[in-house]
Amino acid sequence: MQLFRLLLSLLGLLLVMGCQEDFPTYSTFCDQETMSLPKCLHYAVLNKQDKDVLEKHFGVIDDPRCAYRVELTKYHVGSCNNPIVKSTGSDFYGYVRIEIKKGFKCYYKVQSDYKNDVDAAFERVLKKVKIDLNQ
């Protein structure tokens, strides 16, 4: 009986370990001359939880008067009504993107796709931001 429980536990562990998403994370500084974190940021994020995570991660307090705006997009392809997109299918279900804009102009952008786990994609994007902005 204990051998059965051990095998069942190992099988469950293998299943969980094999399901980890491994999508690449893409990032770019839109203006290659400036590649550092701005001194102030305004978090234009509706979800309070996400806003708090971003504010904590960037380490910059929200300043609504700041010209640099942080935007978070969590997009699920299933909400797309384009028949061409629906008919071809895709290798991912959506993407998570963080953008820093000055006015309407892009300053920095990072994005990662996801299949099932939007939270894992959000974590990948946050890690990439930390690497890119040398925090």
User: What's the whole-number mean pLDDT along residues 33-62?
Assistant: 90
**Position with higher pLDDT, 130 vs 5:** 130
User: What's the whole-number mean pLDDT along residues 65-93?
Assistant: 74
Contact yes or no for 100/29 (Cβ under 8 A) = no
**Residue 6 above 80 pLDDT?**
no
Q: How far apart are CA 53 and CA 43, in angstroms?
A: 11
β-pairing, 42-43 with 68-76? parallel
128 is written with which tokens? 């990439």
pLDDT band at 7 (very low <50, low <70, confident <90, very high): very low
**pTM score of the predicted model:** 0.72
- Provide the pLDDT for residue 70: 95
